[in-house]
Structure formats: C-alpha cells, structure tokens
Amino acid sequence: MKLATWNVNSLAVRLPQVLDWLQVNPVDVLALQELKLTNDKFPAAALLEAGYHAQCFGQKTYNGVALLSRTPATEVVRNIPGFDDEMARVISAEVQGVRVVGAYFPNGQAPGTDKFEYKMHWLKGLRDWLRQELTKYPRLVLMGDYNITFDDADVWDPVGLKDSIHCTEEERYQLRALIALGLVDAYRLFEHPAKSYSWWDYREMAFRRNRGLRIDHILVSQALKDKVTDCEIDRAPRKNERPSDHAPVVVELDLT
DNA sequence: ATGCCTCAGCTCCTGAGA
C-alpha cells in the first residue's frame, strides 16, 4: 500500500499536475492540502476519471484538504471533533484497513503573534484527539503539511533560521509530543541524503539552490512501523513550470 | 527590507503563505 501527501497550493491551478503525478505514481491514497477552493469547485469528476474517489473538505480562499483513494474511503471525519475551528484543516477516513489522517497544520506566521498562539492551541487539540484515535485505530497514518521541522537536519540554514517560524523550540516540542503518542517519522526510518527538504520558497531561486525545509511529514503508528518499506520525497513536481512550493512525500507499507 | 514569489479575491492592491 502506498500513501502520499502533497500541499498543492491551489488545486484549481495544480489539478493537471496532480493528475500527471498520479499517472506516474498510482498511490492508493493521496492527501492534499491547501486546496484553496470550496466543495462546489472540487474537481471530483476529473479525479474519478483518473481512477480516484475523493473526500473533500474545502473552504473559500484558504486552507482546504482532501483525501483521494483508489478504493472508496469510509468513516470520513472532517476537522477535529470537539475542537472548534473555522478553518478546514483535517480530514480523516478508513482506507483498506488503515486510518488515514490528512492535515494542514497552521503556519503560525511568527512567534509572539496571534497566529502562533492559534498554532499552539491547534496542536494541543490535535494531540488530545489523536490520543483517542490511536486507541480506536491502532493502524493509523498522520500525514500532511506540518509546518514544523523536527530538528536542524530539516533546515537549510539552521543558524540563520534559529527560533524563526517552523523552527522554534515550542513547535518542535509539540511535534515530539505527537511522536510520544506512539507515532514514528517514516522518513527517518531510512537513510537519505543530507539536505533533503519538502518545501522551498518561491523566491530567490530557493529550489535551484536547495534552500528548503522538511515540513511535510508522514507519521505512522507503532502497529505500522515494522511494515514501512520505503519513504521518499518526490522533488520532480517542484521542477514543473508552475509548481507548488511543496513536494509530495510518499510512504510504502507492506500489509501482506 | 514589513522585499524577493505565488495565489485568491469585494482583483490592478492586499493578505497570507512559509
């Protein structure tokens, strides 16, 4: 089973690239973030034509998440139950016996801002909910745009970006707290080249200079840890003419 | 440099992203 996550930064703009990517990478599940469109604008027909069922949780202008899957997803839940949130950031469902959670974590803007406070509050809400979900669904995958780096290995300039957004100790503490629930960073189960990132700024030719961050993650529960056979970041779509600033991350599970 | 790109929208500037 292959699952992937991709922040597409507008599905309306990126749909052709998503369809192209799925043709080359026929994953079982693809979690999308930053749709930037409402449910009525969601291209369900084009995706079904490509062989993918879709569960959408859209919103006007910002945010918006979706789960695409080869087999229909069931038990679909939108956002974090019990956590009051006006933004469409989380969608979860059952696919082929795996509980899949796709999430677009808040950006946080900068430490000390209201948006940073919201990010911390949201992370706490996510963790409290996931603690229960993990007891209910031992086979769980949490993937998406986390907007947090684990450590300096995930940062192109750890000195210059020390304590800046995505790199603060407060955010990293929250990320480790998620891990402490019984989750594992699938990417670090394997050896990868140094300076492997999933996001590069649009400005200053950051991708060409590989000035990036690893902020898109796939975390798997303990029950799935030994079944992970590969996890890769696919930089190819970032080389497209009008790319998303994020690259897809793919995980492979052997559930036989 | 509170910039640099990119995207959406009450669109020709602004807010937000990261």
Is A84 a residue of the active site?
A: no
What's the CATH number where A115 sits?
3.60.10.10
Listed in sequence order, the DSSP H helices in chain A are 11-24, 44-49, 114-136, 169-179, 222-225
Neighbours of A48 (CB within 10 A): 12
Nearest-CA residue relative to C1' of B16:
A62
- Neighbouring-strand partners of residue A93: A100
The answer to whether strand B lies under 7 Å from the CB of residue A201 is: yes
Residue A212 CA and nucleotide B5 C1' are separated, in Å, by 14
**What gap in Å lies between CA A107 and CA A184, rounded to an integer?**
22
From first to last of its 256 residues, chain A has per-residue pLDDT tens of 999 999 999 999 999 999 999 999 999 999 999 999 999 999 999 999 999 999 999 999 999 999 999 999 999 999 999 999 999 999 999 999 999 999 999 999 999 999 999 999 999 999 999 999 999 999 999 999 999 999 999 999 999 999 999 999 999 999 999 999 999 999 999 999 999 999 999 999 999 999 999 999 999 999 999 999 999 999 999 999 999 999 999 999 999 9
Distance, Å, A41 CA → B10 C1': 19
CA of A203 to C1' of B17 (A): 12
Task: Determine if strand B comes within 7 Å of the CB of A171.
Answer: no
Dist CA A17 CA A14 (whole Å) = 5
Contact A251, A3 (CB under 8 A): yes
Nucleotide closest to residue A145 (CA–C1'): B18
Identity of the residue numbered A181: L
- HSE-CB at A4 with a 13 A cutoff on CA atoms is 25
What is d(CA A93, CA A131) in angstroms, rounded to the nearest whole number? 16
The residue range of the domain holding A143 is: 2-253
pTM exceeds cut of 0.95: yes
Q: Cβ of A10 < 7 Å from strand B?
A: yes
Q: Can you tell me the distance from the alpha carbon of A211 to that of A244, in angstroms, rounded to the nearest whole number?
A: 15
Domain count, chain A: 1
DSSP state of A246: B
Per the residue annotation, which of A28, A52, A104, A187 is the catalytic one? A104
Question: Is A209 near strand B, with its CB below 7 A from some atom of it?
Answer: no
- Alpha-carbon distance of A215 to A105, in angstroms, equals 10
Per-residue pLDDT at A85: 96
Per-position DSSP letters for A90-158, written without gaps between them: EEEEEETTEEEEEEE-----STTSHHHHHHHHHHHHHHHHHHHHHHH-SSEEEEEE----SSGGGBS-T
Residue range A25-79, pLDDT digits in tens: 999 999 999 999 999 999 999 999 999 999 999 999 999 999 999 999 999 999 9
Cβ A202 to strand B below 7 Å:
yes
Separation of A58 CA and B10 C1' (Å): 20
| Distance from CA(A213) to C1'(B13), angstroms, rounded | 30
A90's tokens? 């989380």
A104 has catalytic annotation? yes
